Chain A
Amino acid sequence: EPEVTQTPSHQVTQMGQEVILRCVPISNHLYFYWYRQILGQKVEFLVSFYNNEISEKSEIFDDQFSVERPDGSNFTLKIRSTKLEDSAMYFCASSVRTGNGYTFGSGTRLTIV
């Protein structure tokens, strides 16, 4: 069964540094997403991406965050000047079209120290 692949599975970064989280969506999917889950809290929407541009973003997704699809397969989330409160599990997801369910990756656990 096709999978969404995320790397690394665990990332430890010093506060103030930049981090890039990587995702390889399912190959025929057109819609891409990032979500995050702070420990013990709800899964929260960050951003959706379609046709090489952001289609929707949440209040969390401020200027500190950016997304990119640098080639035909990868989808990245960059976090600049990381803060302690950015520590969370970050999930990438993709779908072939909206509404019929999203396939999530297994997540990257980001720890800011």
Chain B
Amino acid sequence: GEDVEQSLFLSVREGDSSVINCTYTDSSSTYLYWYKQEPGAGLQLLTYIFSNMDMKQDQRLTVLLNKKDKHLSLRIADTQTGDSAIYFCAETQGNTDKLIFGTGTRLQVFP
């Protein structure tokens, strides 16, 4: 089945870490992605992880994948006001390259 779920809102103080969570249902997921959407803008690819990896770090971003629990998370260290946006997780499954998107998490960073 195709179902990717995220919590709708997250509010953090500037300088703290943010953790955005995502769950998916299809065990045939091959790649998992995090996209950022700022108001009125398109979808910006932040990072992605192959399903045989557990973790990937890229500067302030850390992606954790728990394949057993079908759980993906994005940790943003030292969150800044410029990180305020909607964050989407997405997956591709099996031998298809279409993206299945989550519901999106709106991250609000306050001073």
Contacts and interface: CB of A to CB of B under 8 A. Distances in A.
A105 B38 CA distance: 13
- Which bracket fits the contact residues of A? 20 to 34
Interface in A73-107: 91, 93, 95, 98-107
A108 B98 CA distance: 20
B24 interface: no
Interface in B70-111: 88, 90, 92, 96-104
Contacts of B90: 43
Mostly helix, strand, loop or mixed at chain B's interface?
strand
Interface stretch (B15-23, B43-51, B52-60): B43-51
Contact of A105 (B35, B42, B103): B42
Contact of B42 (A44, A99, A101, A106): A106
Contacts of B35: 104
B62 interface: no
B43 A43 contact: yes
Contacts, number: 56
Contacts of B103: 42
A45 B99 contact: yes
Contacts of B97: 31, 48, 55-56, 95, 98-99
Nearest to A99: B31
Contacts of A103: 45
Nearest to A107: B42
Given A58-B98, A99-B31, A104 B104 contact: no
Nearest to B102: A42
Contact of A91 (B43, B48, B96): B43
A103 B99 CA distance: 12
A35 interface: yes
Nearest to A3: B42
Interface of A: 4, 6, 31, 33, 35, 42-45, 48, 55-56, 58, 91, 93, 95, 98-107
